[in-house]
Amino acid sequence: MVEYQGGSLEAFEILYGQLAPDLHRYLRSMIRTADGAEDLLQETFLQMHRSRAAYHPAYPVRPWVFGLARNVFLMKARAGRRWTSLHDVRARVPDTPVRPDMDRLELVDEIRHGTRGLPPDQAEAIALHYEYGFSFNEIAGMLGISAAAVRARASRGAARFRHAVEVLRRAIT
């Protein structure tokens, strides 16, 4: 990132290659369409370019860029809500994130149904920690809340998720 701040195009290409796949999955988990996720991804890298001077080299790049991606999504969501209220159209709710490798599991329908009922803040904390591997401190920095609040969101979401899966299993058997 320091090289990119200095104007290196090669450094940007390396950053893009390392960050884009996970960022795309993260954004895709928050928005329904692949095209929408791609638009948000490009907007995230545009914001990274615009904000590159604000990046402090003492901090890890990945959480900083994920924070930018989250802000880009929130700006888009706010604009969408304004448009929706202006045009009186019902807004669509984004899907709750599900790990991509869960598609291999037999109970993927149960998992998707269980996570669909989670509050967005809990689903986001679970995705950022368990899917993307961020520490609770890193997530706290991204979301602007304490690490304890992130832990609480993830814990409550996981408990709700486990309960929903158990209810579905009992209903199936």
Structural domain boundaries in the chain: 1-94, 96-173
Task: Tell me how far apart the alpha carbons of residues 140 and 32 are, in angstroms, rounded to a whole number.
Answer: 25
Specify the CATH class of 1-94 in words.
mainly alpha
4-13, 51-60, 118-127, 162-171: least confidently modelled range: 162-171
The three-point CA angle 172-121-23 to 5° equals 95
The mean pLDDT of the chain is 79
Span 71-125, pLDDT tens digits: 899 888 776 665 554 444 334 444 445 455 544 444 444 445 555 678 888 888 8
Of 19-28, 85-94, 125-134, the poorest mean pLDDT is in 85-94
pLDDT of residue 97: 52
CATH match of 96-173 with 1.10.10.10: yes
Give a three-class secondary structure readout of 112-127.
HHHHHCCCHHHHHHHH
Asked whether 23 and 44 are in contact (CB, 8 A), the reply is yes
pLDDT at residue 157 in the model: 87
Helix axes 108-116, 147-172, angle to 10 degrees: 130
Span of 110-114, 120-124, 164-168, 169-173 with lowest mean pLDDT: 110-114
Token code pair at residue 169: 């299993």
